[in-house]
Amino acid sequence: MNRAFSPLLHTVFVALLAVSTLASAAEEKKAVAKADPAKGETLYTNGDNARNIVACVSCHGAAGNSTITQNPRLAGQHEAYIAKQLMNFRTPERNNPVMSPLAKALSDEDIKNVAAYLATQAPKPGAAKNKDTIDLGKQIWRGGIAAKNVPACAGCHSPNGAGIPAQYPRLAGQHQDYTVAQLTNFRGGGRANSPQMVTIAERLSDKEIKAVADYIAGLK
C-alpha cells in the first residue's frame, strides 16, 4: 500500500513545497519594496488630515531646510537614519510631545517614503557664529578631549560632517540650538536612543557642547 501511494504523496509534497516557496517569495518582495520619494514629498508637504498628520514642512521647512533653529534641518540626511529616528519616536527612548504622536500615526511605509524624500534634498549651508569658541569647537570635532576620554566627533560623523550612511547622521550645517539641545538631552537622560552619545555627552560641559555645536553649524 505504501508503494502504491508513494508517487501521489510525492506529488502532493512537491506541490505544497512550491506553494510555500511562492508565498515566501511574495512576502520577501513585499518586505523589501522600495520607498517612494514622491509619496514622501506629498506627505511631507501636505500632511494627511484624515489621519491627523500635520505637514512636516510647517516645522522642518521647505525640502527639509528648517529655518526654525530649535527644529533640525533634515535635507540630505541619511535615509536610514531618518527612518530610525522616526521609529524611535514611537518608543520611550526618544519620547517627544510633538514628534511621538506624529510618528505613531505614520505607517512604516510612510516613514520609508518621507525618509527617502528628505535624503534626496539639497541641504543649505549654515554658519558658525561665535568666534570666541571656534578653536575649542574645532578641537573637539577633530581631536576630541583626551583628558575626558571624549573621542573626536569626526571619527564617526566624518571630517566634513557628512556622516556615514546607515550608521552615523549628517551633522554639517545643523542649527546650533538644535545640536545643543540634543547633546544636553543625551547628557541628562532625556534622549536615550544612542548609548554611545549618552556616554560621550555625559563628559561634556555646557561650554564644550555650545562650542562644538557652533562649529558643526559651519561645516559644509
Between CA 182 and CA 69 the distance in angstroms is: 12
Please tell me the chain's helix, strand, coil percentages from 3-state DSSP, rounded to the nearest 5: 60, 5, 40
For position 16, what pLDDT does the model report? Answer: 52
Global pTM value: 0.85
Between CA 14 and CA 117 the distance in angstroms is: 44
Does residue 16 form part of some domain? no
Does residue 209 form part of some domain? yes
Q: Which domain holds residue 72?
A: 37-119
- The x, y and z cell numbers of residue 140, run together, are 573637539
Terminal Cα-to-Cα distance of the chain (whole angstroms) = 78
For position 1, what pLDDT does the model report? Answer: 47
Q: How far is CA 215 from the centre of its chain?
A: 21
14 or 158, higher pLDDT = 158
Task: Determine the 3-state secondary structure of 172 from DSSP.
Answer: coil
- The x, y and z cell numbers of residue 8, run together, are 501521489
For position 113, what pLDDT does the model report? Answer: 98
Task: Determine the 3-state secondary structure of 2 from DSSP.
Answer: helix
- Specify whether 152 is located in the same domain as 209: yes
Binding positions for heme c: 56, 59-60, 99, 153, 156-157, 197
- Specify whether 212 is located in the same domain as 168: yes
CB of 207 within 8 A of CB of 133?
yes
Between CA 141 and CA 18 the distance in angstroms is: 56
CB of 118 within 8 A of CB of 74?
yes
Domain boundary among 75, 96, 119: 119
HSE-CB of 206 using CA atoms within 13 angstroms: 0
Assign 114 a pLDDT band (cuts: 50, 70, 90): very high
Could you read off the pLDDT of 74-97 as tens digits, one per residue? Answer: 999 999 999 999 999 999 999 999
Does residue 20 form part of some domain? no
Could you read off the pLDDT of 115-139 as tens digits, one per residue? Answer: 999 999 999 999 999 999 999 999 9
CB under 8 Å to 81, separation ≥6 — which residues?
163, 165, 166, 168, 169, 170
DSSP 35: P
pLDDT higher than 90, residue 108: yes
Between CA 144 and CA 153 the distance in angstroms is: 7
- Specify whether 115 is located in the same domain as 138: no
Does residue 21 form part of some domain? no
- Specify whether 41 is located in the same domain as 115: yes
Does residue 10 form part of some domain? no
Q: Residue 144 belongs to a domain with what CATH number?
A: 1.10.760.10
- Specify whether 104 is located in the same domain as 73: yes
Q: Percent of the chain scored above 70 by pLDDT?
A: 85
- The x, y and z cell numbers of residue 101, run together, are 504622536
Q: What is the mean pLDDT of residues 143-160?
A: 98
Binding positions: 56, 59-60, 99, 153, 156-157, 197
Q: How many domains does the chain have?
A: 2
- Specify whether 111 is located in the same domain as 173: no
